[in-house]
Structure 1
Amino acid sequence: MKKLALALLACMTTLPASAQTFLRADGQRIVDESGNPVLLRGMGLGGWMLQEGYMLQLGQLGSGQQYRIRASIADLIGEEKTAEFYQAWLDNHTRKADIDMMARWGMNSVRLPMHYNLLTLPTEKEPVAGRDTWLEDGFRRIDTLLAWTKANGMYLILDLHAAPGGQGNDLPIADRDPDKPSLWQSAENRRKTVAIWRKLAERYADEPGIGAYDVLNEPNWDFSAPGGDHGCKETGNAPLKQLYTDIAAAIRQVDKRHMLIIEGNCWGNNYQGLLPFADRNTALSFHKYWNYNDEASIAPHLKLRETWNMPLWLGESGENSNVWFRDAIGLVEKHGIGWAFWPLKKIGFNNPYEIAPNPGWAKLVAYWTNKGPRPSADEAYATLMQLARHDIRHESNLFHADVVDAMLRQPHDPSPRPSAPLLVTAEGGAFDAVDYDIGPAGIAYRDTDDANYHVSTGKSRTLWNNGRTWRNDGVDIARADDESLYVSDFKPGEWMRYSLSADGGGRYTIEVEARSDKGGTLSLTLNGGTPLALAVPTGSGWQKLRIPAPATLLDGNNMLVLGAQSFDGAVRRVVFVPAR
């Protein structure tokens, strides 16, 4: 992994961070104080101040809300140690090193998903009804993050991800308890939400490092005719517009300069009834997941921008393959729309950083999902603290360089790049099949399934890399019991490209390690020449197979394409043996 990361960082072009002045809405553009357009590129810090079950492999634990996760932890180790765990989690999940690296990649903004309970008490726990208790530790953490982003010339966008009571029926995203009044069922919850934004605006009114106030993440609520459709068919959205109006008025009492961002119902996409919006220093945010990356997919949002003369921002997107990332970002940037992808890190492979939990975590997950025995309190505590004090820290995370490349380079430069130094000398050389080039599908590789489009197709979700490890492309990669990696489910018509460097050139016999229950033929094409066929006999074990005739490598750069001509199986390694 380090080899692949260093190879990318060595060739990545870093985008300069903008000098920080207040951002504002200027017609259909987001601009700085000099009127220069600003294209926001960044990540959302999901999982830090608000946990969602799927980010921890706990999607089956209730509905994945943080309060359920916390209760399950407390059941094992008690309330006092649970508080210790969450303190360590907040201290270590996101640190200056994470923000520094984002800036090094070329990102200029950070979206912070905030849980209201880090800033104030729930309404039912307030000592005096209608009076807000402010929690300084939560504000202090925002201050610290702001110092890190400012040091890198980046904008920090504040996002109220979990509002008091919860803003929708997609429960985990707002940590909503359905047994308590929601945001929309409680006037006191709405009052507290407005008060939170007034408090934040008071604190940051004179801070240009705050890019915008994203006032409510993904409302998804049926106001007029509850039917489980998450507000997607609402035509009025009057309660949502009223709340936005109240929040804007409270902010403007103390802060005249910061740009506001509002999101439509239906996870940020249904703006019916919400426009026009009185505050003109406001941008519209839409969220985009699992649909096609064509003009039709953003046409309704472009129409809103033109009709109401307001800027657009893709405030949340991700959870897909590199192909999807590249195409989505290329599409919106073509229209001058900035973006914040989701999330920076989680337990999972399709984000820049992957949290690799210690072995004890699998036992906890198994217990919580009714697949294993209950661990002892001491064992659970050790596992949880190892996760919070070590595993989630920047230096312990696995860096997925291919993901960052797909976001920042590939939308503008589709050329393939080596994923790792693949060198062949006079003594020969070898490389793993998983170290194919970094680049777009059709250029660096070809695979039958390379993205998830289930929202557009109406079909079941597609898993592009069904091994869920190492790379986020369509190539299926598996991890063996000994932790070695190999390309699995390599099917006819699929191929991978490798950039090789030969020291002096020469003639070599090529050997491939492969296996197939059905047998078949692989093809190897060197420097665009005639494909060389390699027959793979039927067998369940790995076989080392050689091309009969030696191939000639050029001195310097070479290109090898390994294809599954009529092959259905797995490949592990390619070896160059000097021809004698």
Structure 2
Amino acid sequence: MKNSWLFLRLVILVSVFFGFACSSKAQGFLKTSGTRILDDRGENVLLRGIGLGGWMLQEGYMLRINEKGQQHKIRERIQKLVGEEKTNAFYEAWLSNHTTREDIEAMKAWGFNSVRLPMHYDLYTLPVEKEPVAGKNTWLTKGFAMTDSLLQWCKDNQLWLILDLHAAPGGQGNDLNISDRDDTKPSLWDLKANRDKTIALWKELAMRYVNEPMIAAYDVINEPNWGFEDPNDKNGLQENGNGPLKELLVDITKAIREVDTNHIIIIEGNGWGNNYNGMLPPWDKNMVLSFHKYWNYNNDEAIKHILQTRDQYQVPVWLGETGENSNVWFTEAIRLLEQHNIGWAWWPLKKIGINNPLEIPSSAEYEQLLNYWNGKTKQQPNAATAWKALQQLATAARFNNNIIHRDVVDAMIRQPHSNATIPFAANIINGHAEILAADYDIGSNGHAYFDMDTANYRVSTGKNSVGNRGYTYRNDGVDIEKGKNNVFVSNTEKGEWLQYTLQVEKAGNYTIRLLAGSEKKGAKASLLLNGNTVAKSFPVSMAGKAGEWVEVHAGNIYLSEGKQQLRLYVEEGGFRLSSINFSRN
């Protein structure tokens, strides 16, 4: 990843340098007009952004914790291992490291124009049960200071910032993790004091940021999911009235408008943001409807409900949260959205895992911690090991320690608008060379590679699929697994192929050998050079179980100097592939 990092730093420096030239230009507030969002010049704005999930509010899955994933539960587990003082130190380090100026500069350099900040209320105010005086609101400096810093980074890079109340006082739904809800205490909907504090928090935020045009909007409550009419409809998917939700949103709007008439207000329906039954028409002239979209098809039918709502009420819509899928799904979704002039905010920027622009790397000590927390072992790590794991995790969260997934960024920014492919690695051929099989070109399915199982559409199909089954290294449909010393391509199927852009420095005849292996007889592959078959249906030998390899002679081919494109085509699948090796004769 070192070359990727150096390249990124160069891009960032160039971007920031030119950014200073235009940063002095005053920008006005975004406004709505019919179904569009406009800037101060009256030009259409298509928000392309990412949410900073996991920063102010941790969700268990982002840290690969399987159960009891609310942040307060995670904190309790940590405290049992290392004590209160070190737990506080861990969270201070986490908040300091997770999102920094470098993250925002990278987003700008990559081509995003906006940031969504998921806020936890407890960084801004005390829980109602901890207020010294009932009914009063104590304002905390931590959350506001973090927001001020983020806003400054966004202003310096000309990125719009959307404030999103992700965890409301008491918690806004029965999906506990997303709002860090403690279900032993009254929810947002069970206690008026929680709703009053939510209203007061938004008024305080609006007073502080009323004159900040780089704040694009206030996303007032993330993903409400509550059955008001039917307790068995826990997440409000079938709710017809949504009366309490609308009442609270109207009250928040009134409080904001008492002090701030500048900013767009974004509302979300029940059922994780999509159920607007009984909530419309809009009650404010500068309002946007948000919807969230996960694991369904990327076609007009999948967003028909929100398109109809937009047209009926002549109000802009914005996909406030989506992601957690493969690059193929990302590209499809963005193409669909932008065809309909719908902006978007992906989720999240970083976590432990490959399907985001940045990956927080794990450590051996943290894996021990996970094995204990997830019930894989009953052996509790000692305090020293646990503390080392937590320190490593907090350090790994910082941008310069993250793994940059260029393929994910490319799938979101370039591939929706281009079928061209670009090299993943240099792949220089100068006499003798080895190319990692997983370093096939960057680009869309059918252009840089072809894979049969590319994305997770489980909401539409009822079947769970994952794209890259090995869930490592890259986020395309190609299955990649970790070996002892490297990663390798696995689970190949008939008709699939991988393309590699080569830079040949020494022309000549080359012997091509694959480091490969199959667990069954009959596996075959072919090689195509610049579209022409140069090695036809050669067998891939059996090599026992995964992790065992044999050299497979693929053929002798002539490589001209310069850029060449080599494709490995799977004639009969079932084999795994570690590398392609070139030897000049």
With the shorter chain as reference, the TM-score category is over 0.9
What are the equivalent positions in structure 2 for 1:245-394 lying under 5 Å apart?
245-372=250-377, 373-388=379-394, 390-394=395-399
2:451 paired residue among 447, 452, 456: 447
Residue in 2 that maps onto 1:2: 2
Q: Is contact 1:183–1:189 with CA below 8 Å preserved after alignment? A: yes
Q: Distance in 1 between matches of 2:321 and 2:34?
A: 22
Q: Deviations over 1:400-423 (max 9, x none)?
A: 000000000000011111111111
Residue in 1 that maps onto 2:480: 477
What are the equivalent positions in structure 2 for 1:89-488 lying under 5 Å apart?
89-372=94-377, 373-388=379-394, 390-425=395-430, 427-459=431-463, 461-482=464-485, 484-488=486-490
Q: Secondary structure at the match of 2:132?
A: coil
Instruction: State yes or no: 1:534 paired with 2:535.
Output: no
Instruction: State yes or no: 1:46 paired with 2:47.
Output: no
Q: Distance in 2 between matches of 1:577 and 1:5?
A: 30
Seen in structure 2, the aligned counterparts of structure 1 residues 287 and 329 have a Cα distance that, compared at 3 Å, is same
Q: Is contact 1:32–1:38 with CA below 8 Å preserved after alignment? A: yes
What are the equivalent positions in structure 2 for 1:518-533 lying under 5 Å apart?
518-519=520-521, 520-530=523-533, 532=535, 533=537
Q: CA deviation at 1:4?
A: 5.2
1:566 paired residue among 566, 572, 576: 572
Q: CA deviation at 1:11?
A: 9.7
Q: Distance in 1 between matches of 2:335 and 2:388?
A: 44
Q: Distance in 1 between matches of 2:7 and 2:520?
A: 36
TM-score by length of 2: 0.95
Q: Secondary structure at the match of 2:76?
A: helix
Q: Distance in 2 between matches of 1:557 and 1:458?
A: 44
Q: Distance in 2 between matches of 1:171 and 1:374?
A: 26
Q: Distance in 2 between matches of 1:487 and 1:5?
A: 24
Compute the RMSD of aligned alpha carbons: 1.8
Q: Deviations over 1:326-377 (max 9, x none)?
A: 0001110111111110000001111000000222111111111222211122
Aligned residues between the structures: 572
Q: Secondary structure at the match of 1:565?
A: strand
Q: Distance in 2 between matches of 1:147 and 1:500?
A: 43
Q: Is contact 1:197–1:250 with CA below 8 Å preserved after alignment? A: yes
Name which of structure 1's ranges 302-311 and 399-408 shifts more when overlaid on structure 2.
302-311
Seen in structure 2, the aligned counterparts of structure 1 residues 311 and 139 have a Cα distance that, compared at 3 Å, is same
Residue in 2 that maps onto 1:21: 28
Q: Distance in 1 between matches of 2:198 and 2:543?
A: 63
Q: Distance in 1 between matches of 2:214 and 2:2?
A: 33
The code of the aligned residue for 2:398 comes to R
The code of the aligned residue for 1:278 comes to W
The code of the aligned residue for 2:528 comes to T
Instruction: State yes or no: 1:32 paired with 2:35.
Output: no
Unmatched 5+ stretches in structure 2: none
Name which of structure 1's ranges 374-383 and 403-412 shifts more when overlaid on structure 2.
374-383
Q: Deviations over 1:434-474 (max 9, x none)?
A: 11000001111111211000000112x21211111111001
Q: Distance in 1 between matches of 2:559 and 2:414?
A: 29
Name which of structure 1's ranges 182-191 and 367-376 shifts more when overlaid on structure 2.
367-376
TM-score by length of 1: 0.96
Q: CA deviation at 1:424?
A: 1.3
Residue in 1 that maps onto 2:518: 516
Q: Distance in 2 between matches of 1:450 and 1:74?
A: 40
The code of the aligned residue for 2:52 comes to L
Q: Secondary structure at the match of 1:348?
A: coil
Q: Secondary structure at the match of 1:199?
A: helix
Q: Secondary structure at the match of 1:545?
A: strand
The code of the aligned residue for 1:568 comes to G
Q: Distance in 1 between matches of 2:75 and 2:264?
A: 35
Q: Secondary structure at the match of 1:421?
A: coil
Q: CA deviation at 1:530?
A: 2.4
Q: Distance in 2 between matches of 1:391 and 1:503?
A: 38
Q: CA deviation at 1:5?
A: 6.0
Residue in 2 that maps onto 1:496: 498
Q: Is contact 2:66–2:374 with CA below 8 Å preserved after alignment? A: no
Q: Distance in 1 between matches of 2:375 and 2:552?
A: 45
- Identical counterparts, % of pairs: 52
